[in-house]
Amino acid sequence: MITMLLLMSATLTEPSNMVALPKGNYRPLYMSKTSPQTKVDAFSIDVTPVTNQQYLTFVLTNPRWQPNSIPQIFAEPQYLQHWQPIADQKTSEFNDENKLVTLPSADQMNSPVTNVSWFAAQAYCKAQNKRLPTVAEWERVASASETQENGSLEKDYHARILEWYSRPNSKFLPEVGLTSANYWG
């Protein structure tokens, strides 16, 4: 399971890497056209997912969230499984408990961090003075196409989503900001 980490602002000011969405409605993709819409208040969200580099900075300054230090109750065995151990590198510079350090590969530093537990995501958000989006907020953002707030109004919207889901997974995700943005940016 791949889990990407996106952040919500806990403040009223908009950093340049965030976008403000006005209040609005959306209808979940799996609902019929006659199903009621869900109302969502105004909120802000990061323009791109959190990268491996950003999350690495967090775990280096918060050692308890490093893959080899996090208590099992706060992470599944797949937590940051795509990060690789540094061969024979045991150093207190990175880890107070002198455990083996794991890092993302150099070519994945600007790709979205994946395999992050909910608890670790919450801790990251708190450290950034932000929060995770609610399900309704995330679905509102995700329901947009490249040109419309409500992408489901476009003729081929559902076909494009199904085509995207049918593609085989690549081993690594592309760098953030290189794929096309939706209506919200």
What's the domain range around 164? 1-185
- Among 38-42, 56-60, 132-136, 141-145, the minimum mean pLDDT is found in 141-145
Pairing of strands 43-46, 100-103: unpaired
Mean pLDDT of 141-154: 88
Compute the distance between CA of residue 87 and CA of residue 12 in angstroms, rounded to an integer: 44
Mean pLDDT of 21-42: 87
- Candidates 104, 117, 107; CA nearest to 1 is 117
pLDDT confidence band for 9 (50 / 70 / 90) = very low
Q: Model confidence over 60-86: pLDDT tens digits?
A: 999 999 988 899 999 999 999 888 876
pLDDT score of 13: 47
pLDDT score of 100: 53
Q: How many domains does the chain have?
A: 1
pLDDT score of 162: 85
pLDDT confidence band for 130 (50 / 70 / 90) = very high
